[in-house]
Structure 1
Amino acid sequence: MTPEDRFPGPEHPDSGPRHQPDLDVLPYGTYYEPEPATGYPGTPYEAETYSGYGGARYLEQHWPADGQDHTVHAPENAPLFSPQDHAGSHQDHAGSHQDHPGYEPTLPDQQSPAHQDHAHQAPGRDDPPTIELGPPLPDPSAPSYPYPAPGPGEPPGPLYVVGDVHGYLEELRAELRHQGLIDAEGHWSAGRSRIWFLGDFTDRGPDGIGVIDLVMQLAAEAAAAGGYCRALMGNHELLFLGAARYGDEPVQSTAGTASFLAAWRLNGGQQHDLDRLEGHHISWLSRLPAIALEDGHLLLHSDTTAYLEYGESIPDVNDAVHSLLADEGVDEWWDCFRRFTKRFAFRGDAGPTAVHELLDTYGGTRIVHGHSPIPYLTGAVHADDGQPPHIPGPYVYADDLAVAMDGGVTMEGRLLVARLPVN
């Protein structure tokens, strides 16, 4: 078990290097150092795109591209929860805790905070305008292409993936700038390029809401330029939204009573992110897909086979998760969070079999995922020289069937942005 998403005890954000327990590490892979972007490839579009990317479509229809203060309106069936205003500051946790999979945090002895609605409408505007960023959405039964579809004989732009960000906004900007995807002012400069964020925008780092705002901004700007910027729902999105909706409401877990708010704080939740969470953030985050297929790459956040428990197709999985967030109760939400917190399914001798199980069900020829930091997959976290782990690029393993993209930015590693395919 890693300190990521654990329940035995508190994470210590920004506390520097620390000793970690030994892991059952089987480093059967190699590193790949991505090359800087050199322009659009002339390769044909290899496969259809399946994602159920409600969040991206929502942005393309409703998010303003002119930088003005427009209000984002959620559809009628949007989840009706809002962030909470928690009194007091984030309490640092100290000391060691048990480290076993069955342990979960107990409910803190504190009063449940009141829910407040932070979705504000600009004064004097009863119906703020929205900007159309493209033609009407196509018939869902029609073949799916990048939005907007390439012209005759025109290939789509290059495909990029971004690993776990965890609130490290400046590192994200620097890496996107290095890859030529944004300009010096932080605006989209990649034309028809395609980007998928693999989830986990918040927690542990200094500015999770700033990361979300940047991704939402880039989604609108990319769509206007003929490319796109989309994102998957990670387990920390489930945790963050759960903390905002349910707070200290008890959940029944395998190790006793816990709460989303307690788990969120133990896993690096930053109070200033929760204080700044607004209605349009919630609407966007709650519609992110859990799984997607791009150019033969099956994109997941977590290196787990738990996706199979939610459906036998990509639309089924995404619909199941969205329905759960919209209609189900706290225990079902908690169970979903716990399932997508599992990891390391693709490591070791049985790893290729687990990968094939997902590929055979959902399609694609290779899995690309975040969630599990590469230093834990390779054993680099256990170096005795006191130096930060060396992460030259994505980590390819499981008989070259899996690509890990979490460079361990929270542990002095690297925030990874890579162009696919990696070879």
Structure 2
Amino acid sequence: MPKQWVIPDIHGCVRTLRALIEQLVIPAKEDTLYFLGDFVDRGPDSKGVLDYVMGLEDQGYNIVALKGNHEEFFIKAWEEEQQARGFLFLKKTNKSKAQWMPHGGREALESFGTTELSKIPVHYIDWMRKLPLFHITGNFLLVHAGLNFNIEDPFQDTHSMLWIKDYRIIPSKIENRRLIHGHVPVSLDFIDIAVNSPGYPFVDLDNGCYMVNRPGYGNLPALELQSMELKVQPNLDMD
């Protein structure tokens, strides 16, 4: 039976991602790789991560890549840069870029060998723009951050899918599916407890791949949805 692997926030750590996929997951072409977003920022090689995942698609692997808030950061900063044509040839301040820079944008631009958003090839932006916000597979609902269960239809709040951090799941609003998400780094112990507790309504898979100096963090996991097998790759990028 084909396997279904879920991989959370990568944050520019391409060496770690390659090791996870090529040495631990080792996917067959009929398997599916689900990514929970936040491919970019913070780590050293956002461009490398995008190239690698896009390359897997080109090689015919089954890829379902979701959008994270850091892709949204990147897109908004890039789009504002395109529109920033100021009066009397004075360029307007790119507020989105200013907000993005301290949250990993600086490292992302460095991975492209530039400090200028205008020099980012448009096909990277187009790829990120097209990423869906959630995906349903069997008894699981995959999303980057979570859902706003305070409204009648949680799927109407697209902002929360990218950004929400604190919420209480109401299983009936998602047809009693188990929520798999990233966005908020949690310890490996917490991930292990959630994965191995079938009644737990959610699994937060984000272990803060880039957080190598924090005990219990700094790894990139992958969860196989049918067996609930967890593979864990320590960070290889932040040295």
Name the TM-score class by shorter chain: 0.7 to 0.9
TM-superposed deviation, 1:277? 3.0
2:71 to 233, 237, 240: 237
| Aligned pairs (5 A) from 1:382-401 | 394=192, 396=194, 400-401=200-201
Unaligned runs of 5+ residues in structure 1 are 1-39, 41-156, 182-188, 250-256, 322-335, 346-353, 376-389
- Specify the alignment match of 1:410 in structure 2: 210
1: distance between equivalents of 2:122 and 2:94?
26
1:280 to 123, 130, 133: 123
Q: Quickly say closer, same or farther: Cα 1:296–1:342, change in 2 above 3 A.
A: same
Moved over 6 A (4+): none
Give the match's secondary structure for 1:409: coil
1: distance between equivalents of 2:179 and 2:10?
19
Deviations 1:78-135 (A, max 9, x none): xxxxxxxxxxxxxxxxxxxxxxxxxxxxxxxxxxxxxxxxxxxxxxxxxxxxxxxxxx
Deviations 1:227-248 (A, max 9, x none): x111110000100111111149
Contact kept, 8 Å, 2:146 with 2:181, in 1: the verdict is yes
Contact kept, 8 Å, 2:144 with 2:161, in 1: the verdict is no
Contact kept, 8 Å, 1:167 with 1:208, in 2: the verdict is yes
TM-score by length of structure 1 reads 0.44
TM-superposed deviation, 1:281? 1.1
1:369 to 160, 169, 181: 181
Give the match's secondary structure for 1:212: helix
2: distance between equivalents of 1:163 and 1:278?
25
Q: What code does the residue aligned with 1:173 have?
A: R
- Specify the alignment match of 1:326 in structure 2: none
Q: Quickly say closer, same or farther: Cα 1:403–1:213, change in 2 above 3 A.
A: same
Percent identity of equivalent pairs: 28
Q: Quickly say closer, same or farther: Cα 1:394–1:369, change in 2 above 3 A.
A: farther
Give the match's secondary structure for 1:410: coil
TM-superposed deviation, 1:215? 0.9
Task: Let me know the Cα RMSD of the aligned residues.
Answer: 3.1
2:32 to 194, 205, 220: 194
Unaligned runs of 5+ residues in structure 2 are 85-92, 213-217, 230-239
Number of residue-to-residue matches in the alignment: 205
2: distance between equivalents of 1:239 and 1:205?
15
TM-score by length of structure 2 reads 0.74
Q: What code does the residue aligned with 1:374 have?
A: V
Matched, 1:259 2:95: yes
| Bigger Rg, structure 1 or 2 | 1
Give the match's secondary structure for 1:416: strand
- Specify the alignment match of 2:20 in structure 1: 175
1: distance between equivalents of 2:210 and 2:138?
30
